[in-house]
Amino acid sequence: MTENTNETTNFIKHIVKEDLAKEKHDQIITRFPPEPNGYLHIGHAKSIVLNFELAKEFNGKINLRFDDTNPLKEDQEFVDSIKEDIEWLGYEWTNLHFASNYFDEMYNQAVLLIKKGLAYVEDLSQEEIREYRGTLTEPGKESDSRSRSVEENLDLFEKMKNGEFANGEKVLRAKINMASPNINLRDPVIYRISHATHHNTGDTWCIYPMYSFAHPLEDAIEGVTHSICTLEFQDQRPLYDWVVENSEVEATPRQIEFARLNLTNTVLSKRKLKQLVDENLVDGWDDPRMPTISGLRRRGFTAESIKTFCREIGVAKADNLVDVRMLEHFIREDLKLKAPRTMSVLDPIKVVITNYPEGEVEWLDADVNPENPEMGMRKIPFSREIYIERNDFMEDPPKKYFRLFPGNEVRLKHAYFIKCNDVIKDEEGNVVELHCTYDPETKSGSGFTGRKVKGTLHFVEATNAVAAEFRLYNSLIEDEREGNDFLDFVNPNSLEITKGFVEPNMAEAKANDKFQFFRHGYFNVDPKHSTEDLLVFNRIVELKSSFKL
Ligand code: ATP
Ligand code: MG
C-alpha cells in the first residue's frame, strides 16, 4: 500500500495471511458495522482504518453495513453522517448493506432453529429470565417453556410476528445449555417484540432480532471472512459460532477481537456523547470539543492526521489507554509544512507609533512558511497604529520579562524595533493604549546589527486588520475531577471565546482553511459560525506540548 507508510504488522494481518496461505478463502471480506444511533467517533476511526486497510492490502472487499436492528434508536441523520465521515476519511466501501434488509432471512433462520428443536418461545418476563439465568458460580434453571413442542413454538413465534402479543410478553430463545459455564450460552434471547416503527422497514415488523443472533447471520449472509470486533465480544464468540453452525448458511465467518481505543480526557461512547448533545452541553455532534469525526473535522483535524494516529497506535489484544496528546501530535506534524503562517492578535491592545508618519502604510515582506519556502512570500502592512497582544505588555514587570514595558524595546515580527514611552489609561485605570516610537534603521531583513533585543512580538496593523473571533478549547472531559456520573467530569471552562484581529490577506479565508498563528497554534476556519462579516477560528492545538512520542 502506498498510502500506508507504516509497514508494521499486527496479529489480525497475521491471521489473514495464514488463512490466505491455507487457501481458506479466495478473497477476504471485512465489514464495518456501525449502528446508526449516533455519529462516529475516533474509536470508530480505529476500526474503520483497520477494516478498510486490511481489505485493501489483501485485495479483498469491505462492506459498510448499517447494523440497524433496533428500531428505537436509529435515524436517517446518523446513516447520512456515517457515510459522510467514512468518505471524508478517504475510504470507499465495496458494498453498502442494511442489516434490516435481512429481516426476512433472519426470521426464516429463527424458524429453522425452532424446527430443529434449537429455539423456543419463552413466557417468562425479562426479570424472571435474569433470575433463572444463574450466576458465574451457579448454573441456570430451565423454565417450563423450554419443553414446548416444535409445533407450539412455531405457532407462538408466528403470533409474535403477527403482533398478537405486547412488548415483553414473549421472546424467542436459543436452546443451548442452561448450565454452560459461559452465561452467554444459557439460552440467550434471540428475538424480542417491539411495536415500533423502523427507519427502513416501517411497520412491517414488530419483532426484532437481538444483536448476538443478528450479527453472525449478517456476516454469514454477506460472506464476511473476518469479522473484527472489540474485546467485549470475546465471551460472545461461542454464541457467534453456535449461530453460524446451527443456521442454514454457507459461509463461516470468523470473529476476531481487538482492543478498543480508549483516550485520556475523552468519552468514547455514543450513548454519553448523545447525552452531551441532547442536554445542550455542546454545540451539536460536530462541536469542535467532541471526539466525533465530524467534531474533529470542524476543529481542524485532517483525515490524514486521524488515519496516521490510528495506524500508529496499533492493534492489540489487551485494553489500553492512549494519551490524547498523541492525536494532537499528528495534526501538528501534518500541518507543520502545509499550513500558512500568519499573525493574529487574540486579545488586542492598540499601539500608536508616534514617530511614524500619519496616513502612511507600508507593505512588508514576510515568508508564508519558513519551513517550506515553496509556499512563497506574503505582504503585511505596517503603519502608525497596530494591535499587539494585551498580555505582551506589563506596566510593572517582574525580572527577566522581555516583552513590552515602559522604557523597554522589543522586535515586531517582520517589522521594526519599537520602544514603549507612554501608557494611556481610562478613568478606571485600565490600560487602553500604548505610545511607542519605532527605529526605521531596524527594519526586518535590512541586516541591522546595531543592538539586540530579547523579545519578539507579533502584531496586526490596525487600519487594514480583519476582525475575527477565536474559539480556544480545553478538554471537554477532565479525568482528574471527582464524581460518579460522567457529567461530573465535564469541564465548565472548555470553551473560551475572544475577539481580535487577523492580517488583511486572511479576508479571503474559506471554511476549513487551516493556519498557524504565530505563537498561538494551529487554527481552522469554523464552517458553521463564520459569516461574510466575521471569521471564526477554532484553535486545533497549541504549538507545543510537553508530550513526547
Ligand atoms: P459505542 O460504545 O460508542 O456506542 P459501539 O461499539 O456500540 O460504540 P457500533 O456502531 O456498534 O458502536 O460500532 C461499530 C464498530 O466500531 C464496531 O465494530 C465496534 O467494535 C467499533 N468500535 C466502536 N467503538 C470503538 C473503539 N473505542 N475502538 C475501536 N473500535 C470501536
Ligand atoms: Mg454497539
Residue type, 471: R
In eight-state DSSP terms, residue 59 is T
Ligand nearest to the CA of 268: 1
Q: Which atom of ligand 1 is nearest to the CA of 260?
A: 28
Place of cell 494611556: 424
Probe residue for ligand 1, chosen from 10, 42, 47, 97 as the CB with the greatest number of ligand atoms within 8 Å: 47
| Closest residue CA from atom 10 of ligand 1 | 34
Residue 31 near ligand 1, beta carbon < 6 Å: no
Between the CA of 46 and the centroid of ligand 1 the distance, in Å, is: 9
Between the CA of 174 and the centroid of ligand 1 the distance, in Å, is: 26
The residue ranges of every structural domain in the chain are 11-98+212-330, 103-210, 341-541
Residues annotated as catalytic are 35, 260, 270
The CA distance from 298 to 313, in Å, is 23
* Ion ligand 2: protein residues whose beta carbon lies under 5 Å: 35
| Closest residue CA from atom 14 of ligand 1 | 34
From first to last of its 549 residues, the chain has per-residue pLDDT tens of: 334 444 568 999 999 999 999 999 999 999 999 999 999 999 999 999 999 999 999 999 999 999 999 998 888 899 999 999 999 999 999 999 999 999 999 999 999 999 999 999 999 999 999 999 999 999 999 999 999 999 999 999 999 999 999 999 999 999 999 999 999 999 999 999 999 999 899 999 999 999 999 999 999 999 999 999 999 999 999 999 999 999 999 999 999 999 999 999 999 999 999 999 999 999 999 999 999 999 999 999 999 999 999 999 999 999 989 999 999 999 999 999 999 999 999 999 999 999 999 999 999 999 999 999 999 999 999 999 999 999 999 999 999 999 999 999 999 999 999 999 999 999 999 999 999 999 999 999 999 999 999 999 999 999 999 999 999 999 999 988 999 899 999 999 999 999 999 999 999 999 999 999 999 999 999 999 999 899 999 999 999 887 777
302 vs 78, 254, 295, 299, CA distance in Å?
21, 33, 11, 9
Tell me the whole-structure pTM to 2 decimals. Answer: 0.94
Q: Which atom of ligand 1 is nearest to the CA of 51?
A: 18
- Residue 21, φ and ψ in degrees, nearest 5: -65, -35
Between the CA of 348 and the centroid of ligand 1 the distance, in Å, is: 44
- Judge contact between 194 and 167, C-beta under 8 A: yes
- Residue 446, φ and ψ in degrees, nearest 5: -85, -10
Between the CA of 290 and the centroid of ligand 2 the distance, in Å, is: 19
Q: Return the CATH architecture of domain 341-541.
A: Beta Barrel (2.40)
Cell of 321: 489507554
3-state secondary structure of 351: strand
Residues forming beta bridges with residue 424, ordered by sequence position? 433
Residue type, 70: N
The CATH code that applies to domain 103-210 is 3.90.800.10
- Least Cα distance to 227 among 252, 255, 250, 258 occurs for 255
Cell of 538: 477554532
Probe residue for ligand 1, chosen from 40, 69, 224, 230 as the CB with the greatest number of ligand atoms within 8 Å: 230
Q: Return the CATH architecture of domain 11-98+212-330.
A: 3-Layer(aba) Sandwich (3.40)
Helix (H) or strand (E) holding 254: strand 254-258
Between the CA of 258 and the centroid of ligand 2 the distance, in Å, is: 15
Name the H helices within 183-339: 211-222, 237-246, 270-278, 293-299, 303-313, 324-335
Residue 35 near ligand 1, beta carbon < 6 Å: yes
- Residue 292, φ and ψ in degrees, nearest 5: -70, 160
Residue 274 near ligand 1, beta carbon < 6 Å: no
Name the H helices within 418-465: none
> What is the side-by-side strand order in the sheet with 466-473?
341-342, 514-517, 521-525, 535-541, 466-473, 495-502, 344-345
